[in-house]
Chains A and B, each alone.
Chain A
Amino acid sequence: MRLAEYAAALLVATLGLAAIYLSRQLPYSAEYGPGAGFLPFWLGIALVLLSALLFREAKSQAASEGAATGPNDPDHANTNLSMGKSSRQPWLVFLGSILALAFLFQPLGLLLSTALFMLVTMRWAAQRTWFSSILFAVVTPIALYIGFSRLLVVPLPSGPLGF
């Protein structure tokens, strides 16, 4: 777990350095006051300083954790980025479905993309039966269509088939 904390601190430091570097290419001061590069430059400095603090925190946290609980502590499995084996597969299915839906929402249109999404998440993430998964996959898109496109008149993508 410490690894993720360190990685985050490193990322913060990198962001800070990037902000400093990029803001140096903008004017630091304008005619009557600070310019476009002023705020991002100091934000970058602040991030670099804070990342040092984050490193220190992660280090002292690691020290106290190591002293208080052994590595085989069962509670440990539920903290931060690790998770129980049983929920790993549904979680990955769920993540994959979200990404697929995000990419396919426009090309496939509202009805098709949400039907696919519901079918997959109900069957493999929520572990419903085939019957109830298909029911969700049919009813949900229709309800969304009626609710959003018809009642609330929110324009939504219609997909290649025109619906």
Chain B
Amino acid sequence: MIETLESLFRGFAVALTPTNLLFALIGVTAGQIIGALPGIGTVVGVSLLLPLTFNMDPTGAIIMLSGIYYGAQYGGTISSVLINMPGEAATVVTTLDGYQMARQGRAAKALGIAAIGSFVAGTFGVVMVTLLSPVLTTFALRFGPPEYFALILLGFTSLSAFSGTSLAKGLVSVIIGLLLSTVGLDIMSGRPRFTFGEDWLLDGFSFLVAAIGLFGIGEILDGMMNPADHPMIRTSLSWRNSLPSSAEWIRSRGAMVRGTLVGFFVGVLPGAGSTLASFIAYSAERSASKHPEEFGKGAIEGVAAPESANNSASAAAMIPLLTLGIPGSGTTAVLLGGFLLWGLRPGPLLFTEHPDFAWGLIASMYIGNLMLVVLNIFAIPLFASMLRVPYAIQASFVVLFAIIGAYSLDNNPSDVLIMTAFGLIGFFMKRLDYPAAGLVLGLVLGPLAEKSLRQSLTLSRGDWSIFFTRPISGVLMVVAVSALLWPLVMWAIVRRRPDKAGAADVPQ
């Protein structure tokens, strides 16, 4: 405990240097903007800006990129509330009550309670990261190849089960990502695989090129199909109106606490993430509420709960990333790519080999959350004005960033073409509901998944029971397989309560 505090103070010494403070501020502000703009998600933001940080100090770069990641969870609320278009998948459910509040002239209140809830939840999440990371790190040292394989499998199955409308489509995305990751030199034998004699395929597909294309170009092509601008609700967004009255405070207090806890437990699971957390928190809040009939009509708890949940979930997702090196979502996968670019391998050794980096990052998350709550109470009119930029103009700039980003990864013009090809694939995946995050996760974790699978089977001389007889890996395997049964559970719930099923429908 004392040791943790000491490390955290060292982290603050790193995070509070003027340059790192500046990077944190740039990161959270960029995240806020990226989150607010509908059609530009977190993954795009992080993957587009990642190549631009190559000449920066690694700690500063990761502080900035993480700032974008959790800052976007705050920003997404703005467009959900003001134009009924979620800026982020994790703020979809906020549109239900947030937009209704805005129509009643209470937009500032909705944004205010979201900012406060986000701050409480985000800070709670970082406290948990601080406390749990050292514990999990020692735990993770006991992980051998079977445990890593089981954990990755859990990430794959839960992402497939929770991310889209169809489990089969989720699995297909992950498997295609895995297949793409096998292109290039075989990690164990060193012989080329699926390269068809082409030299440029020997290195395999860079997942950053894939991520920039799939999310950047793919999402933009999708958004351009319906570029109509959404009318914005005009209302006073002064900070004086954004603070809750005591009655509202009493109503939303419990919602924040429940949302925070739900978000944390969902977020810490690999593959589940902040979107699912916000949905679960919303429906849990509705069931717990004394006046469930007000939900969907501008109940302040309906904003407070999911907005708290998505922030504590996004902080919680940093735990498996930092301690095990296993990202659970598209964005954390890209962040992992950022770590790797600087030779920082997240995992149990990160905290002992690069303590300044690891603790500096954690400390910067405390500071970033503080910056965000201030930004979100005082600078909302500024961010809201960005929503007036027509979509086609935003889209053109995203394309420019995507092209420059792909080129600058390796100064290689063929990366630009591969990125564009992934963009087209991403567009079709988006239209047909195949989660692109699954493909990126498969591509990122493919080499580690294959290595741990083959090492495990080599250890056991081909006996598959190795995954089930070791305690940690056995539990993880059981959870991983049961995630596949999730759609059946949902189906049963929807069938049992046909009256409430309609409320889960989300306006797109």
Contact = CB atoms under 8 A, between A and B. Distances in A.
A32 B428 CA distance: 41
- Contact residues on A (Cβ < 8 Å of other chain), bracket: 35 or more
Interface string A94-106: 1101110111011
Given A5-B432, A148-B404, A83 B225 contact: yes
A81 B419 CA distance: 21
Interface string A79-122: 01101100100110011011101110110001000100110011
A156 to B, nearest CB: 7
Contact of A105 (B392, B396, B413, B431): B413
A144 B400 contact: yes
Interface in A47-102: 47, 50-51, 53-54, 57, 78, 80-81, 83-84, 87, 90-91, 94-95, 97-99, 101-102
Interface of A is mostly: helix
Given A46-B175, A155-B411, A87 B227 contact: yes
Contacts of A43: 175, 178-179, 182
A26 interface: yes
A5 to B, nearest CB: 7
A90 B224 contact: yes
Nearest to B417: A102
Interface string B338-372: 00000000000000000000000000000000000
A56 B390 CA distance: 40
Interface string B402-425: 011001100101001101100100
Nearest to B414: A106
Contact of A34 (B176, B221, B457): B457
B52 interface: yes
B172 interface: yes
Contact of A148 (B52, B166, B454): B52
A135 B182 CA distance: 46
Contact of A154 (B51, B188, B432, B454): B51
Nearest to A132: B393
A33 B54 CA distance: 39
Nearest to B196: A22
Nearest to B167: A53
B313 interface: no
Nearest to B421: A102
Nearest to B434: A8
B403 A36 contact: no
A152 interface: yes
A126 B393 contact: yes
Nearest to A19: B179
Contact of A91 (B52, B224, B411): B224
9 contacts: A26-B186, A47-B176, A54-B168, A57-B166, A90-B224, A103-B417, A118-B396, A144-B400, A148-B52
